[in-house]
Amino acid sequence: MNKIKILKKNVLSDNWYTLYKVTFEATKKDGSVQELSREAYDRGNGATILLYNTDKKTVILTRQFRIPTYINGNADGMLIECCAGLLDKDNAEDCIRRETEEETGYQISNLQKVFEAYMSPGSVTELLYFFIAEYTIDMKISDGGGLDHEHEDIEVLELPFTQAIEMMTTGQIKDGKTIILLQHLQISNLLS
């Protein structure tokens, strides 16, 4: 295992979140030491959830504009994805309950943590907590769509699970966290 010693940590930007330039020494397995410099984007940790209905064999996804995808070739910038949000000062469970209600309009009761994972560890510090939860129509308390003061304009999609899987294979769903949770449902046979 490499031994790491941070030498410098400079803030390059703190406009939206914080972009650092970190200079560090890394001791390699052979004992040699090298000085390296990397950038790391710190946006905090987050949580994501896939809602599913066992009776109807459906899932709830969202569609919204994502500027990074637009500047990287996504023609309209719209992305279909699972509900997600940053923890801010909440724990992962409280965060995802709040985000689920804000984005989808569903007030969930029982949620199941699947795992946690770093999604882009080469450049982003975020640890993402993954959840699933069963939903029913009586859990719907609003239209969802996000918060105006956060400039969210989120479309809520209820899709047959088989269609969501097909959309993943055809490239209509390209969001990593969503693909992971759809595949988790698929291998868990929760909607068989």
Question: Angle, nearest 10°, between helix axes 161-170 and 176-188?
Answer: 130
C-beta of residue 54 within 8 angstroms of C-beta of residue 191: yes
C-beta of residue 177 within 8 angstroms of C-beta of residue 119: yes
Provide the mean pLDDT of the chain: 93
Query: Is the pLDDT confidence value at 149 over 90?
Result: no
Report the pLDDT averaged over residues 155-165. Answer: 97
Task: Give me the count of residues in the chain.
Answer: 192
* The pLDDT of residue 146: 77
* The pLDDT of residue 16: 84
Q: Of 61, 72, 77, whose CA–CA distance to 159 is shortest?
A: 61
Report the pLDDT averaged over residues 130-135. Answer: 98
Model confidence pLDDT, tens digit, residues 100-109: 999 999 999 8
* Amino acid letter for position 63: R
| Radius of gyration for the chain, computed over Cα atoms and rounded to the nearest angstrom | 19
pTM: 0.92
Model confidence pLDDT, tens digit, residues 33-81: 999 999 999 999 999 999 999 999 999 999 999 999 999 999 999 999 9
Query: Is the pLDDT confidence value at 161 over 70?
Result: yes
Chain center to CA of 175: 8
Count of alpha carbons within 13 angstroms of residue 18, beta-carbon side: 11
* The pLDDT of residue 62: 97
Residue pointed to by tokens 């990397």: 38
Show the tokens assigned to 159: 């899709």
Give CA–CA dist 147/76, Å, rounded: 22
Query: Is the pLDDT confidence value at 1 over 60?
Result: no
CATH T-level assignment (fold) for domain 46-188? Nucleoside Triphosphate Pyrophosphohydrolase (3.90.79)
User: Nearest 5°: CA angle at 162, between 156 and 164?
Assistant: 35
